[in-house]
Each structure stands twice: as structure tokens, then as C-alpha cells.
Structure 1
């Protein structure tokens, strides 16, 4: 658990500042679970420049609670939490100073979103909260007020968790807050999980990830792991201490994240070298009569496919649909073996490319249209899909036919600047598996929005 906070102070000499406002959002890594927001009477004057900056003045604080009156609530809401703040060293120092005045030793682990941002989102022109969130398209209201700044930090921290591909933030959290039980209670783990689409991570007690999976219903899938009797499930049941997850909203994002992270983390209970999930591929070539031919064949890593398939049957079905939609020739697509005309020509639904009756130029235009629709080779595009919340969308970035990575954008934030989009995106590797995942998903989900752009 995290306590994401922001504090406004009176200003003044070092360690003589007083708190004027505090906002704390308790966060489980996915959503806010509790919050505390209050003005605080600092029992001292506020510096004029602070009044101009925050709008908080002495009159506003006259009837506000003093720090000792809110101290118990602060202790409770931050208990067993890691403090998260933008410039955490400042906020943590102020809290410790206020508690020490009461004779209480306030100790918490802390994380600084400035330092995390410098590591996970490098090369930003500024890491001040206002400029950073603006450059990342994160909406912020009530700037320089505790609640507004703390909420902006919540959204920034959520983005940083997405970008933390090594999962170091989560693993450190598990190590700092171990489960105090000798054997994991599976029912308690399942109770804490949501029935949402995403990627899940099964951890040992020391935080190490032993298994990564993807599901459209994480709660149901983990329940299956805990009740199945196959060898892998038994190993999971014996070693699991904690299950963390990343909601993705989009199944495409979940598939890409699972593929990327299994390859990088290589969890001991996943297959160490995961085989490609496709067996067949569609290739094109030009014959001696200058007609573009299509051929479904066993996938060959040395060749560049148009698209790939999990099995031969799905590839054949895809070609049959393409023949109907684009009026392609059965012979030139490899579906109908013949030395003369194809069956469709005999029933007047093929225009005769099989016997050179239709000019190659005319036929090839339809083939090229088909190829363009079903391959993102050389394209610059963004695939827009579901997000984790109702006001969010996922964005999958492809540049010059190469998958670059993915991220999440606010529904009200327009993707018009590719440089801003690139700073939001979590970089990922482009490989045969990612190409297969993206192309297969787009084939099955034809209504998914695609934005083509020039670069």
C-alpha cells in the first residue's frame, strides 16, 4: 500500500515551517482506497509569497484543526504504507518535524516521484510537478493546493508503475510489507483480486516473480491456479505469497505486456524460452506473369510474412474471406490447385486472373489493397483501445511498421503530438510474437480505432 501525499507549508526558516494543508490518498497500486484532506492551523504566520502561491491565508486557518488534532488520523492512514510524494524528502521531513514536536517518532519508508520520473521518463525538460504532468498530458486542478497536487501525483505514480517494466517498485513494496503467515491463505489472496482484464504476477515471499499470466478475468484465473491439480498449479500453490496485477482494460495491451514480461523476467514457472504462438504465415510473391500471388505456408523466421496464424485452419479461413471481400483468384491465393482456370472463374465470380484474362495491373490493385489493410509494414500509426477506466484509452504506437510500445491517455487528451505520445509510451521490444499478437487482434476486432500519421 502507498500513501500518496502533498503538504503546503507556511514557508520560513528550515525546520521552522508549519503545515497549512495536507492531503493523503491511500492507494493500493490501482485505485484510491482512503483519503484525508484538511487545512491545518500552523500557529504561526504564513510567508507572503506562500499566500500568493497557494491562496491560503491566515484568516482561512484560524478555525482549522491544529496538527495535534489531525496527527492520529495521519498515523492511521499511513500505517503499513510507503509514503509517495513529489520531492518526498521535503514532505517527509516536514511530517517528521511536526511529529517530533509532539514527542512522537514518525518513521515510514518513502518513494520520490521526482527520482522515479528521472529514471523511468528521462530527458524531460523539467521535473517540477506542474510542468512534468502537463508535458505528460495528465490533467491537474487546484495547482499548489494539497489535494490538487496530491491527485496529480497519484496519476503520475500510476503512470510510473506502468513504466516500471522491471517491477522494482512493486517487488520492493512486497519486501517491505511481507505477509505475516507461514502458509499463504489462497482464499484471502483471491478475495483481494478483481474480475478485470489484465496481467497478473505471482510472487514468492521475497517479492520474486515466479509466474506471469494474462486473463480477461484475473480473479477467476487465479482461482483456477489455486484449484487445479496439474504440476504447474501445484508448484504455484506451494510457493505463492502474493499476487499483484496490472489492469489493462484492453485485451491487446494484456497480451503484449504478458509477452514482453515473460521474455524479460523469465519466471521460473513460465516456459523459459517461450515458443512463438503461431505456426503458419501468409506470404506474397510475384509470378512470371507479374500477378501477385499469396501463399499460406509454415512460418519461416527468415521470411517477412504479411500476417501470421495460430494454425493452418485459421489461415485458410482468412484467405477464403479475403477472396470473397476483395474478389481475389482462388488459384493465385493457393486455395485451388489447377493448371487452368479456378472454380470461381467457372461460376463467374473470378475475373480471370488465373488464365491472364484480367490484366495483372487491375488484379494487383485489389491484392495491394488487401495487403495494406492486413499489414502495418512501413506504417506510422496508433491503435486506440479500451483503457482501465471509463475516461481513459490505451494507445499502442507503431512507427515505420515497428511496434514501439504502449501507454494510457486520458479520454479528454488529444493525441496530436507524437513527441508527447512517445514520452507517455512504455517502450517495448518489437519481435515476431508482438507482430502476430497485434495482427491477430486487429483481424478479430475490426472496429478498433487506428490513427495513421505522418512522421
Structure 2
């Protein structure tokens, strides 16, 4: 089942990517480093016209899990006599060469094929087009853009779903259907955007990005004299770096930065968590010229509560590094500046009708606050509101500022993927150390650090996000601090 894309006739002048391959694969699972391709299907189109189909079962080096067989219908017996990937790699590489690589969720298919090529020494890259992204951009009113949803929405032909050629047929049918849904000009306008080729900075050697892959990590841009211009992170390093060079640079600041780039390097990470933490840490310690949001703040601030002589909860703004242990347990919020802390408190006071003097905003030692005169304070400052009632209202208002309690009794070892050997030892919302092996873990657990007052606001927020709601695949193993001669256990 192949269909012509009639919208192709409106192709704009200067568009040279005329050979496309529609690709789908079936695999033994979802991880390119562990799982393998068991079927590939390709349909080649030239100027919107079908010219070739190619399909191949592939014998993996591992057995096909039963759930994959139930999903795809491909069994170990079916691939027992099929060729290995390395036996069909040259033919596949020739078929895909110099063509636009099109797939539904292209990141998955492209990543698997590239990884298997790389494993046998073939360096392959392609311009990619993801039809999920295309559908989302063309039809933002729809929430779902999976193949099954497209079949229902556009009455696409019924095919053998979760077999490679069947899914390629659906992608081809979807592209043909676009003629009836949107104008050809709209299609080409979006394709030009999605297929835009990066124009590298004039002073950047293209070979510097030759080994950069779409993996999680942190990247750095440098100027002519080696000065650090910018630090960024992504779960798709190569795509993110190139995106800096494909944007229209409407912001003069961004255009200026790109023009100054002479060198790029990067650090690969195990996942998004370690990438975010490294990015935050490097921006603070290295102070890149064009990073602003995460610049280093030498002091953080908290509101500290104590009971005054009349039993009312009174707040005082204190620098985080000057807190005593007792004050730390009676503190609220964590702010980058005194101004930010005071503005946040003003909002709380207004929303909950709190007392400006008791919350530290009105500096008078006694008497009514200004909000009381405006009938916005219920009178705690002149003892018209009882201490118990006021303190309860204030506690409720400030509840969202309380630091998240550490959920475990001791430290935890965080691995971002189940198969990773590396990990992060984390305690009280701080990364104690990177863990490379059992020896480094033992050494870290043998010396318990003091963590309470050196908390980094950005790291705290990043760790809360990941550890309280771990993404799929993340492994969090509770541990205990070791006494001399102890053993590691969870």
C-alpha cells in the first residue's frame, strides 16, 4: 500500500531534499544499548512518489522477550534463520544514504539504527523528520498523535500494526492524507522549519561535533581566547547544540553569542538528573558570560520563626549561612536575595491577612502595623487576635515554604538507569559524591558529611523533582552510614 503525496507539487524553489525514506523498526525492547532490532521496513520516495520497498527480519544476539512476541507477532523461531544486523548493514546503509529519514517518533528508530551501525564501525547520520512532531505542529487541537490515533482520526487503512512494514504504510498514508487536511503551503512552511539544516558558526570547525551523539549531557561554548560563553544541558546533546545554530536568532544577544563561538566541548551524563545538576554547578562555579538565570549567589536567605514574649510567632529574615541548628528547624523558604524574600512575604501577608510587623516587613518594635490601619491585618500586632489563632493561620500560610523533609533515614544511591554502574550518593538533598564502583561507595559511606547549612537552592529543587517522583528506570537504593569495618547494605 503506497500513496503519492500530491502536496509535493507545491515544493518551494531551493528545497533540495527530494529523496525520503520512511522507516520503522521492531526491537527486543526500548534501550538501544541493550536491545536489538528484529525487523526493519523501508519505503523510499522520490519527489513524493513511491519508488522502492525493502523489508527484513533480523536475528538478534539475544532472545526475543515473550511480551515483544505478543505485541509484534515476531517469535524467536521466525528469526532463527534470519541474517544478523551486520550481515545486512551495508545494504541498509546504502538504501538510507543521503535521504531524509522519516519515522513516527523518529528519535527511537533513528537512535536504534545509528547505535547498531556504530557498534559495527559504520558512521551514519541523516537529516530526520519525525511525523509525531509534524502532526503536533499541524494539528495542535488534538492531544494524541500516536499511529492508532491517526488511524481513527483520518480513517487510515487497516494494516498489520506493530509489524515494521504495516507501520510504514500508515506513515505513508498519513503523509498522503495531509493534502485533504491542510494547505500545501502550510505543509511546506512547517517542513522547511523541521528540516532546517544547521549553519555552523563561521569560526567553529565542523569536525568538533563529529563524535557528539544524542545522549544526556552538558555542553559548553567557548570564545576566541578560550573564555567560557555558555553552559547548557540536554538529554539530546547533538540536537540541542545544533538547535542554537538553526534558530532565527531574533534575540540580538543570542545572535551575538553564536557569532563568538570558536570551540565546543561537552560532558556525557547518565541521564537528565546528573545533567541538570552538572549544568547548575558549572554555571555557578565557572560564571559563563551568557548564562544569567543560574548565576552564583553567594548568600541565600530564610525566614526564621520564634515566639515573642506575648506568644505570637514572629518572623525574621536571616542569611542561610548564619543560621544556628535550632533556627534551621524553625525556618521557612529559601530565597536568592533579601528583596526576593521580602516580596514573597508581602504576597503571603496580603493573601492571608497576616500582620506586617510580626512577619518582619514592618520594622516597628511595637504597636499596630500599617496593614492594621488599612483593615487588612486582623489585629495580632495589638493583641486583638489571639496568639493561637494567629500562629495557626501563619503556619498554614507558610506551609508551602517548609523544606521538604528527607524521606529516607540515611543516604541513597541513585542510578539513572537500571544497568548503569555509576550513581550519585545523595543525602539531605545534596549530592555527596559520584559513585564509580563499590570501593568509592564504601569510602563515601565511611565518612558522614555535615550537610544542613550548605544547601544549594537549585540542586535542592532538582533533586526534589527527580527523587520524589522518579522517572521510569531510575533506581533509588537506601543505604546506611558505615561504622569502622562495616559492610554496605540497603
The normalised TM-score by structure 2 is 0.38
- By relative contact order (CA 8 Å, sep 6+), the higher-ranking structure is 1
